[in-house]
Amino acid sequence: MSDAAQSAPPPPEVIYVATKRVACDGDGGALGHPRVWYALEDGEAECGYCDRKFVFDPEKAASASR
């Protein structure tokens, strides 16, 4: 494995949601961040604090919550 591949940051966590407006607080607690709200007008948004990616997909959101 090359040095560049080893030092590359991991891909963002993808969270599928069933609403077009979401809040992110980095999971709260000591490692969290201030709560911020995002509108998924284009179907997705990435948190400016923790890089989580929220994707509007009601079907996948429903299957992930089971």
Predicted local distance difference test score (pLDDT) of residue 61 = 94
- Res 8: pLDDT: 83
How confident is the model over 10-33, as pLDDT tens digits?
888 999 999 999 999 988 777 789
**What CATH number was assigned to the domain covering residues 3-64?**
2.60.260.40
pLDDT at 11: 84
Q: What is the pLDDT of residues 30-45, one digit of tens each?
A: 778 999 999 999 999 9
Residue 33 amino acid letter: H
DSSP conformation class of 30: T
- Written as six digits, the tokens of 9 are 């940051």
HEC-encoded secondary structure of 18-43: CCCEEEECCCCCCCCCCCEEEECCCC
Over 60: is that where the pLDDT of 4 sits? no
Q: What is the pTM of this model?
A: 0.78
pLDDT tens digits for range 47-60 = 999 989 999 999 99
